[in-house]
């Protein structure tokens, strides 16, 4: 199976519902979820920083994906995870925007991947 297909499914099935739950619940989110978000944010930051360095050295055209994770997604997750119930509304709104963007982007990717596979 195509790794991009699996990655898109992972984001749709796991990442989007997790972030969407936090976006909807806001300060009613249980404290342990904030802790998970904080550590997932740290992991995403380290992982995608490493991937960005690799992509820079290979001059990969997909560098932008890692940079978005390093500069936008991970810092927001770390910020919300750290401030937990004291997080300002604007951060939750940004999380909502990112969540819906991730859903749209990965659904679009799945559609493109299935169209390519159907034509084979």
For residue 115, name the pLDDT band (cuts at 50, 70, 90).
confident
The pLDDT of residue 119 is 55
Q: Each residue of 60-104: pLDDT tens digit? A: 999 999 999 999 999 999 999 999 999 999 999 999 999 999 999
Q: What is the pLDDT of residues 6-58, one digit of tens each?
A: 999 999 999 999 999 999 999 999 999 999 999 999 999 999 999 999 999 99
pTM of the model: 0.92
Domain range holding 59? Answer: 3-119
DSSP characters over 52-85? HHHHHHHT-TTHHHHHHIIIIIHHHHHHHHHHGG
| Overall domain count for the chain | 1
pLDDT at 23: 98
**Measured over all CA atoms, what is the biggest interatomic distance in the chain, rounded to whole angstroms?**
52
């Amino acid at each position: 199976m195509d790794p991009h297909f699996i990655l898109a499914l992972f984001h749709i099935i796991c990442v989007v519902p997790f972030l969407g739950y936090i976006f909807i619940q806001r300060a009613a989110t249980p404290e342990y979820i904030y802790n998970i978000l904080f550590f997932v944010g740290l992991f995403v930051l380290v992982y995608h920083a490493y991937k960005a360095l690799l992509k820079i050295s290979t001059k990969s055209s997909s560098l932008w994906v890692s940079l978005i994770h390093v500069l936008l997604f991970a810092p927001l997750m770390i910020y919300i995870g750290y401030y937990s119930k004291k997080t300002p509304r604007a951060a939750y709104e940004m999380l909502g925007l990112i969540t819906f963007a991730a859903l749209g982007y990965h659904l679009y990717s799945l559609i493109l991947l299935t169209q390519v596979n159907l034509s084979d």
